[in-house]
Amino acid sequence: MIIDVHGHYTTAPRQLREWRARQIESAGRPFTEPLSISDDEIRETIENGQLRLQRDRGTDVALFSPTAGGMGHHFGDARTSIQWSRTVNDLVHRVCTMFPDNFIGVCQLPQSPGVSPTECIAELDRCVNELGFVGCNLNPDPTDGYWTDPPLTDHWWYGLYERMVELEVPAMVHVSMSCNPNFHGTGAHYLNGDTTAFMQFLLSDLFRDFPTLRFVLPHGGGAVPFHWGRYRGIAQDMGRPPLEELLLGNLYFDTCVYHQEGIDFLVKVMGAPNVVFASEMIGAVRGVDERTGRYFDDTKPYVDAVPGITEAEKRRIFQDNALEAYPRLQSRLGVAPA
């Protein structure tokens, strides 16, 4: 089974964007308008979008969440984020209900700058317990580009982590849009977020405090694998434990790296036990690479073509690591890791 842990509902009908724009404009005034999208409209976007590509590419199921760039946690206040998150998580749930074999929900959290992450617990509970979601996306920078909230390893976040552990759901550490003109979203802020989070983990004892807390670092972990020697050296200079022991039991690097050399490198350096299959489709890069004739984000052929990769390694990357990172997937899919 091929599980793609990183898919977003980027193709949602335009009413969603329009609703969100009106919600943001309402700033402070009551906004009670329901989102109106029909089942047929949803079906059309999925059948002509993610489901078609899933079939074309030969993957089986995607963990599906609201558009990461659209989380926009800096807009409005905590109530704005709660209303928006409930709305868009419900929409993702409708997709997952209509296509239960192909999409399993991962929720957006109603984060807001300066607001305790424990305020997200109610929505996480709702999505997991009522909607059957198996994970969440956690924004390490709710300011969307100014990074003024505490690092992910601060006790500020611990209440949320306690609940994640109780629920057995991991988080993908994923920033949202950038409203800082220095940072392009998908070309800088996303990768910087991944790199930043990893280094926070390296400096902390977070995984001693939460031995079963698990995170997925998207986009191959940003700059991390390319600088693995740097990280091993920094950890050693600081007297930190070896990285394998300190954090590799709790982190996965996804395969949203859009060229063969990059995937070869990711698997070689991090090893199959820490790599999890993902495509981020339909997302950051939508075109066809003229060098290969395939979509840049069609990441399965890259994994298949890694020199010397074994069937056991492919099973880990395509299936078992996802089942391990997202324990609730096992009963949902009726499969267990090897």
Place of tokens 């552990």: 165
Interaction between residue 121 and its own copies (CB under 8 A): no
* Rg of the chain, C-alpha, whole Å: 19
Q: How far apart are CA 206 and CA 154, in angstroms?
A: 9
End-to-end CA distance of the chain: 12
Residue among 123, 280, 313, 324 flagged as catalytic: 280
| 284 near its own copies (CB under 8 A) | yes
Q: 254: which DSSP letter? A: E
Stretch that binds its own copies, among 50-58, 75-83, 98-106, 221-229 (CB under 8 A): 221-229
Q: Which is nearer to its own copies, 28 or 287 (CB)?
A: 287
Residue 92, token pair as written in the block: 């993702």
Note whether 227 and 277 are within 8 A (CB): no
Using CB under 8 A as the criterion, what x/- string covers residues 133-152 for binding its own copies?
Answer: -------xx---xxxxxxx-
Q: Under the criterion CB under 8 A, does residue 180 sit at the interface with its own copies? A: yes
Tokens of 245: 């022991």
Q: Contact, 133 vs 171, CB < 8 A? A: no
- Interacting residue with its own copies among 212, 236, 310, 331 (CB under 8 A): 236
Q: Identify whether 44 is a catalytic site residue.
A: no
CA distance 192 to 176: 12
- Tell me if 248 contacts its own copies by CB under 8 A: no
Within 257-276, the residues that bind its own copies by CB under 8 A are 257-262, 265-266, 268-269
Under rule CB under 8 A, residue 327 binds its own copies: no
Piece of the chain touching its own copies by CB under 8 A; list 56-64, 209-217, 220-228, 309-317: 220-228
278 close to 304: Cβ distance less than 8 angstroms: no
DSSP string, 151-190: PTTSGGGHHHHHHHHHHT--EEE------STTS-IIIIIH
158: contact with its own copies by CB under 8 A: no
Which residues belong to the active site? 280
- Residues of this chain that interact with its own copies (CB under 8 A) are 140-141, 145-151, 180-184, 186-188, 191-192, 195-196, 198-200, 202-203, 219-220, 222-223, 225-234, 236-237, 257-262, 265-266, 268-269, 284-287, 289, 296-297
